[in-house]
Every structure is written in structure tokens, then in C-alpha cells.
Chain A
């Protein structure tokens, strides 16, 4: 089942001064349960594409339909609410709240959703155990390694029960062991919970694990490769 449909997507920065064509007519469809890597050289437009999919930026032309909703038609307030309910974000620099513990960081997003205390307490613990941080729940980000922080970020992204998770260069700041652990964990979540993951990445280790690789060059889809499952594993 298709959860993201992108049609004729264009993004032009500074259209009146010096126009920069970041995206030049992207058509893409992502179905539930995919483990997709969006790759491409710097300036190719992969981050812009991810921002469009995440509803963080609006297209100059074209549509991004998520779960049947054209996100460009939503008001800013509704768009924030839409992101809260439908999209999980994992950032390159983890972007956890430094004053909250791992547990509180995960709980926070569920509190934003207005969930009940018993529910978010239980789910935060479950998720942190799932990402292998059952014994580090009450540590603040400054007391966690980069890999552990990124795991908390994944748990936070999962906490809101999103339709898919968008990860912008999630392994860029991680060492090889942490990268491997993180990817393994995300693959498990993808398989066992059928969670859809979409990455932008330069990292060959991530590309190697992806089941679909969308290559962006000059704002266009240059290649869209479905990798055999066995090979990806």
C-alpha cells in the first residue's frame, strides 16, 4: 500500500533573484514497510526532497501526498499536527532535548500528542528497551554515546506511532560499530513492526542495507533500484 506519492515535484529557491533549482520534477512512490535510502552527491537535492516529504518545506510546484493528504494544502498549524501524528524524524545530530533524560525525551512527544500518563510511561520504557537502552533510560543525552543518543532519537520517532520515519543522514556522526548496531536495530523494526524507513545518506554502509535505493542527481531521480532482500541482508 502506497503511503507517499510524489508527483512533478519542483523546488526553486530565490525564484525572483538568482533561481536555484533544487528539485526538477520528481515522481516517486513509497509503499508501506519500505527501507529506502535516498542517495546522491552534495547539492543533489536529497535533503530538499526529504524536507518536502516531511512537510518541513513547501514545493514550488507538484504535490506530496502522504496517506491520502496533500500536505501542501495544510495550514501551518495543521501541518505541525499532521507531522506529529504521521511522521517520525531522526536527525543527523540526534536533536534530543539536552535537559531531559532519555525516557523523558521519548515521553515528551507522546505528551505533545496528549496521550495518557500511564500509556506514555509504559510505551517509552518498551521502546527504550527495544532499542537496547533499558538500562540507560534515566540518563541525559550528555551521558550517552552518539550511537545511544541516536537510538533514543529512533525511539522518540517511533513513540508517536508514525506512518513512516524520515532519517536525515542518521549515521553521519556515528562510528562503524554504532552505525552497524543502529542499522540492525532499524532493520528489525522494519521487519517486525513493518515500519517504513526513508533515509537520506552518503554512507555506503546504510546504502548496502537498504532494500530500495533512490539516487538523486541535479534534482531528478537518476536511478531507482529495488535491491533483492537477500542481498540487502
Chain B
């Protein structure tokens, strides 16, 4: 076996120039593929993170049937013991209890439909970093009545800090929800739509306004990492699935999933084209190697080398080329991606504005997901294996007497 490896290794260097050209084609293609995939997955990760951490959380728990109509009458009881047991689950960092409703926000002369979010200020700030978005006034507090309004809403209603906002709406089970609240601060939200119509209110104040003490529309969960979503969702469904509606971010934001899927399909097609080009390069090399050595193969079979063993030699040679190409690519690709991971590409100008309007950070981040590496590795190995079909067929049909001609 050792001799076969030595033979294979020396054989691939018989034509140094050809081997270097093949390795170079693998190198550039894999490097490009790594860069593309890392950028793509990094962007998706960032989109998910921005989207999830800007509001929805990775998982939400609702009263059964709430999500379909988002009815203010389908509220769940805020149970501290359940919240504690959820927070004790591995990977769950904390739970944000919320009561969300819609109302008409009014001043003496102006009014506008708004989304009212009653929440625990401290927990909300942990996830959404709401305090960092404060542009005027102070952050709201759990035991005070002061509220936060978004900058666009404040501009529209011509309201500022310490002014009073009147809210009118329908409360729990048809009650009238009416109240006037001092504006503690003004926040600038990245999402333009949210920036024009959002009111943050302390949870207890919102529950009182809505006529639903100790009731919630949702509990949003913040996890250690994105990777824990599936497992935690499954665990929650197992423990609370019969009593509550448990939804992960993919169910909460199907439009984001669709956006990622359609973009990803484009990326996969690009990768496919790239790999087709590499495949032809590798195939060309293997075909030339085979054609040049048909006589040698014939001699080896003549002197007593079984075809299967010869096929093994060709397999090792081709595999060595693939592995060498991958090694060189990874040696260059890993430091490059590590650098890009730490230094994402900042977007400027209209591109940045466009991204910001979608509610995302104006950067192109990179991912270090291990799947980026093994999928590229696997793709190259599959190409190599497919290319082996040619020498195998030639070997299968090779008659030593014909190769002598």
C-alpha cells in the first residue's frame, strides 16, 4: 500500500506544470467559493440577527391561536413560575414579556395609528439595545408611566420629551382603552416603518391601559445562539406545546426566510457554475493523464497488476490532487475569512441607505460557519469522484494487447 501511495504521489508530479495548473484552478475556485459563501451566510446571519434581535426574538410563546388573528382577546397569563422554568432551560438567556396592541395616538390637532408595545424596559434593552437608540430624553422605567415614542412618530405629531401623548383603542374583551402618557424619551429605530409608528410603554402601564392586568400577548425568548433555536423550540413544544403556541423566528418571519431562500438559490446557482468550470478543469487533467498512460496501464496489466489495484492507484492520484487543492485553498481561505469576519466590509452611500431602510446594519459581514468549509471540500471530492468515471471506464475496457499498439 505504501508503494502505491509513493507511486501515486510521484505520478501526480510527473507533469508538474499540469498538476500546478489543476491545483491553481481548484485553489482559485475554492477560495472564491469560500469567500462568496462566507459573505452570503454572514449576510444571512446578520439579517436574522438584526431582524430577530431588533424585535421578534428567536422564539415566541403565545396563547394558543393568537398568531393567526393577533387578537387582543387571546392573551396568556404572565406566570412568573413558567417564565422562570423557561429561563432555566439550557441556551435560553432570558424571556421578554410583552403586551402588544394597536391604538390611535393623538394630540390636540393630529392623530396616527401606532403599535403599542408594553414590555419590561430592562429585559427589552438587553435584546434590542433600545437605550442606544435614544435620541432625546430618558429611557423608560418599569415602575413609571413615562413612555418612549419613535422619532418619526414624534415628528409627525410634533411631540417632544415631557409632552403628553393620548392613546385611544380597543382593550381586552371590548373595553375602551384610553390613557394619556408623558413622553420620557424619543428613540430612533432602524426600520423606517417602525420608526414612524411605535410606542414603547412599561409592561404594567400597558396592561392597565389595555384592561388586562397580568396578561401578555407574547413572551419573546433570547437564546445564546442561533444554533440553539431548533433544539430549544422542540424542547418548549414538548413541555408547553399543549398549552401555548410556540413559534421560532422562521415561523414568525416567513418573509425573511423567503428572502434568504431566494437569495441563497442564486448563490447556489453561481457556485454550481463555478464548480462546473472546475469540474471541466479536473476532468481535462484526468483525461490527459489517462490518455498519456494507457500504454503504461497496459504494461502494468500485462506484467500482472490487477485492474482493481490499478483503479486504486488512479483513485489515490486523483484524490491527492483534490486534497492538495483543498489544503492550499483552506490555508489561504481560513486566514482570509478570519480577517473578514473581524473586519466586515462597511457599506456607504445609497447602498448603505437602502440596507438601513430594510432595517439591517449597513455592513457586509462574513461567516465562519464550519459548513462553508466542508461543503466546498465535499463538492471538490464529489467532482473528483465523478471525473474518475473516465479512467475507470478506460481501464475496464482496456486490453493490454491493444495498449501496446
A binds B: yes
State in angstroms the CA–CA spacing of A107 and B302 once bound together. Answer: 16
Q: Which of B3-11, B57-65, B221-229 contacts A (4 or more CB under 8 A)?
A: B3-11
Q: Interface residue tally of chain A, by bracket?
A: 20 to 34
Q: Which of A91-99, A128-136, A207-215 contacts B (4 or more CB under 8 A)?
A: A91-99
Contact A104 B3, CB 8 Å, known A91-B299, A95-B296, A98-B14 = yes
Q: Are B299 and A95 in contact (CB under 8 A)?
A: yes
A108: interface (CB < 8 Å): yes
A172 to chain B, nearest CB (A): 13
A109: interface (CB < 8 Å): yes
| Contacts between chains A and B (CB distance < 8 A), count | 62
B300 to chain A, nearest CB (A): 8
Q: Are B7 and A97 in contact (CB under 8 A)?
A: yes
A170 to chain B, nearest CB (A): 14
B346: interface (CB < 8 Å): no
A38 to chain B, nearest CB (A): 16
B304: interface (CB < 8 Å): yes
Contacts of A54 in B (CB 8 A): 302
Say what secondary structure dominates the interface of chain A.
Answer: helix
A116: interface (CB < 8 Å): no
Q: Are B305 and A80 in contact (CB under 8 A)?
A: yes
Binary interface encoding of chain A residues 74-94 relative to chain B, with 1 for a CB under 8 A from any of its CBs, else 0: 001100110111000101000
B281: interface (CB < 8 Å): no
Per the CB 8 Å criterion, the residue count for chain B at the interface is: 23
State in angstroms the CA–CA spacing of A41 and B325 once bound together. Answer: 52
State in angstroms the CA–CA spacing of A57 and B298 once bound together. Answer: 12
Closest to B4 in A: A111
B386: interface (CB < 8 Å): no
A: residues with CB less than 8 A from B are 51, 54, 56-57, 76-77, 80-81, 83-85, 89, 91, 95, 97-100, 104, 107-109, 111-113, 156, 160
State in angstroms the CA–CA spacing of A41 and B13 once bound together. Answer: 41
Q: Are A80 and B3 in contact (CB under 8 A)?
A: no
Contacts of A109 in B (CB 8 A): 303-304
Contacts of A111 in B (CB 8 A): 3
Contact A56 B10, CB 8 Å, known A81-B304, A83-B304, A109-B304 = no
- Could you write out 26 A-B pairs with CB less than 8 Å apart? A57-B401, A76-B307, A77-B307, A80-B301, A80-B305, A80-B306, A80-B307, A81-B304, A81-B306, A83-B302, A83-B303, A83-B304, A84-B305, A89-B303, A91-B299, A91-B404, A95-B296, A99-B10, A99-B14, A100-B7, A100-B10, A109-B303, A112-B303, A112-B304, A156-B303, A160-B303
